[in-house]
Amino acid sequence: MTNAHRVVVLGAGYTGMLCAIRLAHRTRRDSVRITVVNPSVWFTERLRLHQIAAGQELPGHRVPDLLAGTGVAFRQGRATAIHPDRHTVEIDHADVLGYDTLVYALGATTDTAAVPGADRHAHTLDSTGAAMVFAARLDEMEADGGAVTVCGGGPTGVEAAAEVAECHPGLRVTLVTNGLPGADLGAKARAHLDAALDRLGVTVRTGSPVATVRPDAVELLGGEVVASDACLWTAGVVAAPLAADSGIAVDDRGRLVVDSTLRSVSHPDVHAVGDAAAVRQPWGQLHGTCQSGMPTAAHTADEIARALRGEEPEPFRFGYFHQSLSLGRRDAVTQFTQADGTPRRACFTGRAAAVYKDTVVGSPLWVYRLSRRMNVSVTLSKGGRAARTAVV
């Protein structure tokens, strides 16, 4: 395929993998060569990293194995520069990979630069390795009944605090958050979440931002000091600097600014998906979740296939459908939402919600398997009337 259209996908996370596999199926009769670039051969299930952080063992999956039989090539290495004018990507500051179409799927990492000390003294859930380091630290503390602080009251922080408390009942777990944990939930769902955290022995500190992370404590802006033998930082994310450093238009958080079809507004041959893209819908800005990320990946694969066949582009439409949080292995809360993520009245909790979380919102591996043979829908809602006006 010397004259094949070259598609390079940067990142083998949830969105990069789906985009590559779906695109391979959509273009199986076309002259297209797809390459996925990722620093590690191991696929990271970010939605389950809080389980690994709590000390649970989960099966590992290799990226080449997940791509086997699709025709997609895997290139292990880190993308260190993009040269949009030359249509090339540098790998590990050495090798050069050319592209005709680039899919930017590098996601985002925890923002530890916003608060002094977080980058030096806090753990993150940015990778399987980072989660395992935190898990090892918890094992060291187990005998002495140490204190654990989880900073950030969003879904990652809530799930991590609950998981750690359930797996390590001898540790003192404190969830530190400026607002309420699960603030986007409705009243009934939030009450269940609060009761679950109380049942698990998690102490919740709200109303005061973290001022400093110290080796042995977390200091709040109001002066309160919370003892901490291990701190897990989950408050805020930031995109990788690669796009900005390469001259591609980004927003103030480093995400690629895209048009209604998810193509870069400055470089139309670059598409962005998942947490790496600043995606607007008529009802507002998408926030980083797997629920919204997977649809961006599927849409981008479809858009590239359409473009190769000379078909007209279609705008991306999306609306949120639910928010589901695990509260340990046997409890969870699922809040059904409007397209913009605000809560509806309906929710369910407890064991039923835990089963729902594992089956509907769990691992995407079954989606990858089916996507080899068919176009699998990964969008639970397209937002209805709220998302029908295209964003230019």
| pLDDT tens digits for range 19-62 | 999 999 999 999 999 999 999 999 999 999 999 999 999 999 99
Average pLDDT over residues 300-309: 97
pLDDT given for residue 65 in this prediction? 97
pLDDT given for residue 392 in this prediction? 45
pLDDT tens digit string along 128-178?
A: 999 999 999 999 998 889 999 999 999 999 999 999 999 999 999 999 999
pLDDT given for residue 223 in this prediction? 92
Which of 80-84, 204-208, 309-313, 356-360 is the least confident region? 356-360
Residue 146, Cβ neighbours under 10 Å: how many?
A: 18
Q: Is residue 371 scored above 60 in pLDDT?
A: yes
pLDDT given for residue 208 in this prediction? 87
Fold of 5-39+77-109+237-318+381-387: FAD/NAD(P)-binding domain (3.50.50)
DSSP per-residue string spanning 57-119: ----EEHHHHHTTTT-EEEES-EEEEETTTTEEEETTTEEEE-SEEEE---EEE--SSSTTHH
Using pLDDT thresholds of 50, 70 and 90, give the confidence band for residue 290.
Answer: confident
Mark residue 199 as left, alpha or beta (left: phi above 0; alpha: psi -120 to 50; beta: remaining).
Answer: alpha
pLDDT tens digit string along 79-124?
A: 999 999 999 999 999 999 999 999 999 999 999 999 999 999 999 9
pLDDT given for residue 386 in this prediction? 81
Domain 112-233: homologous superfamily in CATH: FAD/NAD(P)-binding domain (3.50.50.60)
Numbered ranges of CATH 3.50.50.60 in the chain: 5-39+77-109+237-318+381-387, 112-233
pLDDT tens digit string along 317-354?
A: 999 999 999 999 999 999 999 999 999 999 999 999 99
